[in-house]
Amino acid sequence: MPENTSSTRIEQASDSLNTGKFYLLLLFVSLIGIIGALMMIAFIFLQDALTALLWKDIPVDSLTPVFNPTILVICVAGGLGAGVIRHYFKGEIAIMAEDLMSLVRKGGLP
């Protein structure tokens, strides 16, 4: 019976994710995301300013829901909840390729 080549490819892929080039790629992708988010916020401010300039009677509060502290509290609570669950069940942070390799080896998830 021939060896399953898909599991070999998964192992090779997971090895390539632990390199400096991969983390450099993550850094660049994060920077692009931050730049995109800042451009979006600048666009919304510009849109509000132009709307206020053109139409005097229209309230412009587009960013009020975005900068609501309740949203920040909900996100932090969700992150802490996920961390507590991971700690309680002794879960490890794993790349999906590693989970798939475990699935192939053991016949089930860890």
Within the chain, what is the greatest distance between any pair of CA atoms?
76
Q: Which one has a higher pLDDT value, 9 or 88? A: 88
Both ends of the chain: CA-CA distance in Å? 27
* pLDDT at residue 47 tops 70: yes
Quote the pLDDT of residue 9.
64
Quote the pLDDT of residue 1.
46
**Residue 4 near residue 100 (C-beta atoms within 8 A):** no
